[in-house]
Amino acid sequence: MALPTKDKTYNYTQINQAVLAQGSNLATNRRYLRTLVDALVALGTWVCVASSDGAGGFDAMTGPSTAQASRWTDDSKLVWQSEGSNHSWIVLENIGAAAVGTAGNVQIKYDLKQNDGDGWGCWCSLSTTGTFTGGTATAAPAASDASEVNVALYSYYSDYLSFPGNQNSQLHVWGSTDGEVTHIVGAAAGRIFAHAMIVKAKDPVATNWAAPWLGLRHSGSCPNGAAAASNTDEAYFMTHMGTPGTTGPMYLTGETIYRPGEGTRYSVWSSNVADEDTTEWPLCQVGLYSGFVGHRGRKGLLFDVYFGLRTAYHGDTYVNGLGQKEWVQIGDFVLPWTNIAMEMT
């Protein structure tokens, strides 16, 4: 099929960032996470509004929120420890559409609240209504309403690792200039080990969905190993719906061969090939179907996210009639890209 026209304009300045092995799992994972947070801020659509350095120093959320210098100033400021003890956390606010402190700006929290000597885990959540409050040296801020959504933003697809560990890796962070789409991809040794999306729904239903923000979530393993990393077999989004509201899943829908079945499972066949008559590769825009009891039904689309055939390998690009790269395959998803190869090692 002809390549689709992108819904949005994107900032690609933070892609293809080499994160070199630092000699240990902990040191490398620290470097990777700090590089990721710095890249989000560098996009210009996210700003730090609260943080803790893991050694007793912290800046709590203010009301309304204000921009604050991150306390993650070097790798040593990322400290994993159990909640109730000094540990590191950080909250970023999306300022793509409105100034910091504007009511309703979505916020993301990274919380290193587990005793992990190798730095593998990171608790990640969104406040879809931007209501994180508080924060101390021993506890990260929490949402003041029901809008906090645990989204597992470091979804560890094929190899069960949410961070690279002690190996060289490539970090790709890009997003729309209006802040409504953010993608994070981690790759090492030719494989995707992490993929995150923080997105606002396209054409969302207005009823009972006042803050239509979502975070990609995943559970279980990939059935086809490395080639299926970031596959949709057990991928879905988490959001917050209703009044006073609850959090829950938003499943993926589409056309052509893609159909939901058995809750979170999708048929994306590993044996598919390009159309044998036209040689075109089909792309199918991803829609959203609510799994909330009382709110079930199709609720909108995703900006610039398509299903592609699994036989296309992650990192493969789709080119336009001028031979310019415009889209990239990440597992079963085809995402907006720019005219440069995606580095995978």
How many domains, the chain?
A: 1
Give the model's pLDDT for residue 154.
Answer: 41
The DSSP secondary-structure symbol of 225 reads G
The pLDDT assigned to 245 comes to: 66
Q: What is the mean pLDDT of the chain?
A: 84
270 inside domain:
no
Tell me if 323 is assigned to some domain.
no
Which domain range does residue 127 map to?
A: 13-253+291-304
Average pLDDT over residues 184-189: 90
Residue-wise pLDDT tens digits, 58-72: 999 998 999 999 999
Residue 284 burial (CB < 10 Å; 0-12/13-18/19+)? middle
Domain assignment present for residue 342? The answer is no
pLDDT of residue 27: 97
What end-to-end distance do the CA atoms of the chain give, in Å?
Answer: 30
| Inside any domain, residue 186 | yes
Does 225 reside within a domain? Answer: yes
Tokens in use for 200?
């606002």
Give the residue among 94, 339, 291 at the shortest CA–CA distance from 198.
94
Segment 316-334 mean pLDDT = 90
The rounded distance, in Å, linking the Cα atoms of 329 and 264 is 21
Structural domain includes residue 97:
yes
Q: What is the mean pLDDT of residues 48-54?
A: 98
Q: Indicate the SS3 state at residue 31.
A: helix
Q: What is the pLDDT of residue 208?
A: 86
In a domain, 275, yes or no: no
Of 10-19, 22-31, 260-269, 316-325, the one with minimum mean pLDDT is: 260-269
